[in-house]
């Protein structure tokens, strides 16, 4: 039968398959490492932005920085914190609409 593949040809084909599988596994592992490194860099950046924001807020509140945009931003944060405080009180009392809290 001429259609039968010899053992040597089958072995060569299997070797190519294994080699390709190893190459793809290495590529996938590198992609995973690179993706993880990118995610860590973004997390580090976000952490630094939070720290910087807190520091700017402290400087504005201490009167050491007086930039209109920063002052407005700090005021907005204070508004959010007040709404959060009110919403926490609403939740602690057993519910209600926390999107528009009312004064106690």
Q: What is the pLDDT of residues 24-71, one digit of tens each?
A: 999 999 999 999 999 999 999 999 999 999 999 999 999 999 999 999
Residue 37 vs residues 46, 47, 49, 100: alpha-carbon distances, Å: 14, 15, 18, 41
- Note the pLDDT of residue 100: 57
Do 47 and 78 have their domain in common?
no
- Note the pLDDT of residue 99: 64
97, 90 contact by CB (below 8 A): yes
96, 90 contact by CB (below 8 A): yes
Q: Is residue 15 part of a domain?
A: yes
Do 3 and 47 have their domain in common?
yes
Give this prediction's pTM: 0.63
Measure CA of the first residue to CA of the last residue in the chain; give whole Å: 92
Instruction: Assess whether pLDDT exceeds 90 at residue 11.
Output: no
Q: Which two tokens stand for residue 6?
A: 């010899």
Q: Is residue 89 part of a domain?
A: yes
Range of the structural domain that residue 22 is part of = 1-52
């Amino acid at each position: 039968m001429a259609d039968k593949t010899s053992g040597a040809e089958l072995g060569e084909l299997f070797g190519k398959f294994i080699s390709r599988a190893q190459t793809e596994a290495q590529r996938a592992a590198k992609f995973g490492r690179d993706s993880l490194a990118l995610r860590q860099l973004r997390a580090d950046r976000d952490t630094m932005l939070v720290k910087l924001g807190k520091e700017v807020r402290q400087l504005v509140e201490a009167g050491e920085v007086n930039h209109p945009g920063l002052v407005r931003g700090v005021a907005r944060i204070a508004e959010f914190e007040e709404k959060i405080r009110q919403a926490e009180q609403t939740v602690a009392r057993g519910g209600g609409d926390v999107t528009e809290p009312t004064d106690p």
